[in-house]
Amino acid sequence: MYKKKFGKLVIISLMAAALTVTPVFAAPTVNELQQKKAEEQNKVSSLQAELTELLTKMSDLEADLIEKGTEVTQATADLEDAQKKEEKQYEDMKLRIKYMYEEGNTTFVEKLLTADSISELLNQADFVQSVHSYDRKMLQEYVDTKQQIADLKATLETEMANMEQMQDDYEGEKQNLNATIETHRANVADFDVQLQAAVQAAAEAAAQREAELQASVNEITGGQNNGNTGGQSGNVGGSGQNNNGNTSVTPPQGGSGDTTGGVEQTPSVPEIPQQPEQPQQPQQPVTPPVGDTSVGQAIVNVAYGYLGIPYVWGGTTTAGFDCSGMVQAAHAAVGIGLPRVSEAQGACGQAVGSMAEALPGDIVCYGYHVGIYIGGGQMIHAPEPGDVVKVSSVYGSPWFRRCW
């Protein structure tokens, strides 16, 4: 009887050990998924830091382009002024030559011939020479100045072209970074799904093994287990009264002291791996309270008046606008002051949740570019050099700011 009972206990113990050990094989799968998810999250963080640095470079480059554009505009104005001065000096010189050498009240030759003395004659000649020297000197200065300004303008325009190419390169790099970040974010989300599935599968498997073990225990004990399979509590090595009134002897155990339920007690269910944390969703900006919409509409009306004005880097007047210069001027026209560069304008005022919540007069922001929202998914903006202020559809994934 003892051997038979001991054999049952051995079988139950082996099954309990299998129940305890089996989840260990599932744990590495969950841990591996968690490790891969952490790696992807680290990649996203690293790429976001790289993107932040790139956006800073783009902002600095925009400020440099604005400054360089202002210099080009000034050089263009200086060149036009130098050209006018050169032309005027040339015309004045021709008039003096004509006065001295061509017919007039008295020709210059007659003045020389009618001189009362040699001294007067030399004075007349010296005067002629000084006039010629002055004219030649002034004309040469104007020519040299004009050439210097032309060379400066050419240099500035070359520098601007290089900076604009750099801006295009930055934009391409930004798009690649954004695409890579989105890929890694999708991987993180996929690992979350896999983790949830792995944890759920582990829990179901554990429950299934527990049920199988309990069924085996019931089968071995003849269905007489009432939750205390090993008999009533007693000292180790002692005896307990079973449900049929027979005395069953528990196998000897090392050590001494009381046990709870004897060796045939059903093992506890293994601990279920903790559910993975859900990725934190970015907070959406809250649409600010709507103020006086007539102010926003006034900004739009001013912007409509800028249509057709050419794009000019550093431009802040109707002679030419860059994107942030146009947005700044439209707000200034209704008494609202804005920062100069587009990045700063993209952080001013209050955040608007989405284009669906945007109102006419809000600023459409791309970080490196801005425009004025006019409603219906459209905006007024100064797109790029060689273009003009115009109405376009809102493209990409901008954010919106309200400064009225």
Instruction: Report whether pLDDT(356) > 70.
Output: yes
Among 268, 264, 256, 286, smallest CA distance to 357 is for 286
pLDDT recorded at residue 343: 87
Q: Which helix (H) or strand (E) holds 316?
A: strand 316-317
pLDDT recorded at residue 403: 94
Confidence of residue 395 (pLDDT cuts 50, 70, 90): very high
Confidence of residue 339 (pLDDT cuts 50, 70, 90): very high
| Cβ-contact 56, 173 below 8 angstroms | no
- Give me the percent of the chain exceeding a pLDDT of 90: 23
| Cβ-contact 287, 357 below 8 angstroms | yes
pLDDT recorded at residue 381: 97
pTM of the model: 0.53
Residues annotated as catalytic are 323, 369, 381
Start-to-end C-alpha separation, the chain: 93
Lowest mean pLDDT among 132-136, 190-194, 278-282, 300-304: 278-282
Higher pLDDT, 158 or 213: 158
pLDDT recorded at residue 262: 44
Instruction: Report whether pLDDT(35) > 60.
Output: yes
Lowest mean pLDDT among 20-34, 132-146, 160-174: 20-34
Instruction: Report whether pLDDT(388) > 60.
Output: yes
* Other C-beta atoms lying within 10 Å of the C-beta of residue 59: 17
Instruction: Report whether pLDDT(183) > 90.
Output: no
- Convert the pLDDT of each residue in 65-122 to its tens digit: 888 888 888 888 888 888 888 788 777 777 766 665 554 445 555 665 665 666 665 6
Tokens of 347: 């952080």
> What's the per-residue H, E or C state across 1-54?
CHHHHHHHHHHHHHHHHHHHHHHHHHHHHHHHHHHHHHHHHHHHHHHHHHHHHH
Rounded distance, CA 258 to CA 87, Å? 117
pLDDT recorded at residue 119: 65
Confidence of residue 43 (pLDDT cuts 50, 70, 90): confident
Mean pLDDT of 239-256: 43
- Convert the pLDDT of each residue in 50-64 to its tens digit: 888 888 888 888 888
Residue extents of the structural domains in the chain: 30-216, 293-402
Starting at the edge strand found earlier in the chain, the sheet holding 378-381 runs 350-352, 399-402, 363-365, 370-375, 378-381, 390-393
Lowest mean pLDDT among 211-220, 252-261, 363-372: 252-261
Instruction: Report whether pLDDT(258) > 50.
Output: no
Helices (H), 221-292: none
Tokens of 287: 């649409």
| Cβ-contact 391, 378 below 8 angstroms | yes
Higher pLDDT, 43 or 117: 43
Q: Report which DSSP code applies to 388.
A: B
| Cβ-contact 322, 315 below 8 angstroms | yes
Instruction: Report whether pLDDT(223) > 70.
Output: no
Mean pLDDT of 154-165: 86
Higher pLDDT, 331 or 258: 331
pLDDT recorded at residue 118: 61
Residue type, 91: E
Lowest mean pLDDT among 139-153, 192-206, 228-242: 228-242
Q: For domain 293-402, give the CATH number.
A: 3.90.1720.10
Range of 235-239, 302-306, 366-370 with top mean pLDDT: 302-306
Instruction: Report whether pLDDT(257) > 80.
Output: no
Higher pLDDT, 293 or 304: 304
| Cβ-contact 313, 385 below 8 angstroms | yes
Higher pLDDT, 206 or 180: 180
249 forms bridges with which residues in the sheet? 239
pLDDT recorded at residue 24: 44
Q: What is the mean pLDDT of the chain?
A: 75
pLDDT recorded at residue 38: 85
Helices and strands, number each (H, E), in the chain: 6, 10
Confidence of residue 206 (pLDDT cuts 50, 70, 90): confident
